């Protein structure tokens, strides 16, 4: 977790790709959801599913929506 910017408060849930946490933005005090993505490397590099997940999250940065953290 990016603990310098966010303070984890509680675990919301987990799945095959990672764990989602409720966290507090240390600067504004607002609550956010953080996803800690599990990355399992092997001899061939990153699994395609992990690359796909990270690519999707990176694409979400372009949306100007109050629920999407940059």
* Predicted pLDDT at 12: 93
Sketch the domain layout of the chain as residue ranges.
6-62
Handedness of CA 39, 40, 42, 44 (dihedral sign): negative
Q: How many CB atoms lie within 10 A of CB 43?
A: 4
pLDDT in tens, 20-70: 999 999 999 999 888 887 777 667 777 787 788 778 878 887 877 776 666
pLDDT in tens, 1-32: 555 789 999 999 988 778 999 999 999 999 98
Please give the C-alpha separations between residue 25 and each of 28, 48, 56, 67, 68, in angstroms, as whole numbers: 6, 31, 22, 13, 13
30 is in an annotated binding site: no
* Predicted pLDDT at 21: 93
* Protein fold of 6-62: Phosphorylase Kinase; domain 1 (3.30.200)
Is the pTM higher than 0.75? The answer reads no
């Amino acid at each position: 977790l990016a603990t310098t910017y966010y303070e984890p408060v509680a675990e919301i849930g987990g799945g095959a790709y990672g764990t989602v946490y409720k966290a507090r933005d240390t600067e504004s005090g607002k609550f956010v959801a953080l996803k800690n993505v599990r990355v399992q490397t092997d001899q061939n590099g990153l699994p395609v599913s992990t690359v796909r997940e990270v690519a999707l999250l990176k694409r979400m940065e372009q949306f100007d929506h109050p629920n999407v953290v940059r």
